[in-house]
């Protein structure tokens, strides 16, 4: 998945086998989700990747969007956004701009452009 990075999750190859991935939640999506805070969680942390303690908090930007950049090895990964709502509840959300879906409606990240 490649993009200009303004509104969607995108990846950039940094060196052989390494990719910098920026996960994004647009301001419009954040409003729709009633997001106070947002996190990314996925299967990249090994066997315990989907554990609550392995979530990565996203940065909230001035425009109300959320963003987080992580570095990955080449591979295929599944992820979701975890949104803490203003009412204190949490929801697990698929990436609305990534239409590659896996089990449980997880978003799929393909990092093997060769």
What's the pLDDT at 54?
A: 83
pTM for the predicted model, two decimal places? 0.85
pLDDT tens digits for range 62-114: 999 999 999 998 888 999 999 999 999 999 999 988 899 988 899 999 888 55
pLDDT tens digits for range 26-61: 999 999 999 999 999 998 866 656 778 888 999 999
Distances (CA, A) of 14 to 1, 4, 20, 108, 113: 15, 16, 6, 20, 12
Break the chain into its structural domains and give their ranges.
10-111
Q: SS3 breakdown of the chain: % helix, strand, coil, rounded to 5?
A: 15, 50, 35
CATH superfamily name and code, 10-111: Immunoglobulins (2.60.40.10)
Mean pLDDT rounded to a whole number for the chain: 86
């Amino acid at each position: 998945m490649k993009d200009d990075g303004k509104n969607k999750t995108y990846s950039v190859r940094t060196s052989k086998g390494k990719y910098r991935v920026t996960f994004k939640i647009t301001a419009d999506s954040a409003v729709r989700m009633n997001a106070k805070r947002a996190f990314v969680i996925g299967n990249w942390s090994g066997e315990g990747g989907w554990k609550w303690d392995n979530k990565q908090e996203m940065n909230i930007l001035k425009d109300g969007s959320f963003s987080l950049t992580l570095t990955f090895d080449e591979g295929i990964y599944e992820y979701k956004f975890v949104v803490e709502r203003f009412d204190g509840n949490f929801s697990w959300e698929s990436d609305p701009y990534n239409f590659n879906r896996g089990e449980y409606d997880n978003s799929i990240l393909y990092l093997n452009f060769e």
